[in-house]
A and B are shown apart, each in its own frame.
Chain A
Amino acid sequence: MDYTVEFDEKQFESIENILNEELIELGVQNVLLIDLAGNIIVYLDDGNTQHDAYSLAALAAGNFGAVSAMAEIIGEKDFPLLFHQGDKTSMHFNKVAQDLLLVVVFGKNISLGFLRLKVAQAIKKIQDLMKTAG
């Protein structure tokens, strides 16, 4: 099935607020909430680091889709969490809902453990919001 959840203006604003409070204020560089077609639902940055968000979203969706296909081959439903560790900058991927992915770009100043905690909190809040979206 295609991505079918549609957000209204207020919900977009609420999602931006959630991601700002839980993640941008933590000190991450960029946050993207995307669908698995590669569309950007929300993109936020820390004001200092900007990337080609549209290409990042397309590649992130493709990457996650490929990894999910591999998971099925080995008998897993999917791998809802991915982490790519770089020298200075890393990326964290988390499935939010069936067709939504949260991508976080962060530097060495952020503890991975604490980031995962904040990501989980952000995802819970977004999921609660989506229950009202239907």
Chain B
Amino acid sequence: MALINPRKKEVQVKLVYYGPGRGGKTTNLEYIYKKFQKSIAGKMTTVKTYGDRTLFFDFLPLDIGVIKGYNIKIQLYTVPGQVKYKATRRLVLRGVDGVVFVADSMALREKTNLASLKDLQENLATFDKNIFKIPLVFQYNKRDMAKQGIPLLSIEKMEKSLNSKLKVPSFEASALEGKNVVETMKKAITLTIVSLKERLELKG
């Protein structure tokens, strides 16, 4: 849950990038860090294996300015996507305010995407959070793979497969090329801040 500090006039908001292993979650954060590096006070923290796979999480704090008199700090996290790290993903999801689900557009990853989405729903439920109510954005990543002749699912198929019930905003993207990475993040931040609006207004 977002931490509102009325003394410092600061709000800390937790946004988690979720999705299957090798889907592009870390690449998203790396792109954001590189693009906004000059205006980011902190560093990107990564806890990863020797094989460059996320082991625990990646973390990047972003200041996005002042809303309703409060300085908003967005804490971007990624989770480790590999199936065996389910317990770790649950730890990272603690206190989450908004989620970006980074789906892998490769045709052979369709079932993996669905399994990861189900995993997200289950982990959210352990914290009494409902996937249908939490601010959520889909990113259909790796669209650039089509140039290499790798079969991808169409956007329509991805929408039908992942978003037919949730009906949340979605972006086709290439984290490697930076396409729609910032747009995805901005939409997720907007949805999350709107969901906090009532609490901010109560604090005054």
Residues of B close to A66: CB separation below 8 A: 56, 88, 91
Do B75 and A54 touch across chains, with their CB atoms under 8 A apart?
Answer: yes
Which residues of the partner chain B approach A52 to less than 8 Å between Cβ atoms?
A: 42-43
Q: For A62, list chain B residues within 8 Å (CB).
A: 47, 56-57, 91-92
Instruction: Specify the chain A residue showing the minimal Cβ separation from B6.
Output: A9
B121 at the A/B interface (Cβ < 8 Å)? no
- List 10 interface pairs A-B (beta carbons < 8 Å), by A numbering: A1-B127, A2-B1, A12-B5, A16-B7, A36-B95, A37-B1, A37-B3, A52-B43, A62-B57, A65-B94
What's the interface size class on A, roughly? Answer: 20 to 34
In whole angstroms, how far apart are the Cα atoms of A61 and B3 in the complex? 14
Residues of A within 8 A of B4 (CB): 6
Q: Are A2 and B7 in contact (CB under 8 A)?
A: no
Rounded to whole angstroms, the CA-CA distance of A3 and B1 in the bound complex is 6
Interface hits, A40-72 → B, CB 8 Å: 40-41, 52, 54-55, 58-59, 61-62, 65-66, 69
Give me the interface of A with B, judged by CB distance under 8 Å. Answer: 1-4, 6, 8-9, 12-13, 16, 35-41, 52, 54-55, 58-59, 61-62, 65-66, 69
The answer to whether B61 and A2 touch across the interface, beta carbons within 8 angstroms, is no
Which residue of the partner chain, among A1, A2, A58, contacts B45 with CB atoms under 8 Å? A58
CB <8 Å contact, B61 and A36: no
CB contacts (< 8 Å) of A61 on chain B: these are 94
B1-26 CB contact bits vs A (8 Å, 1 = yes)? 11111111000101000000000000
Residues of chain B from 98 to 140 with CB closer than 8 A to chain A in the complex: 127-129
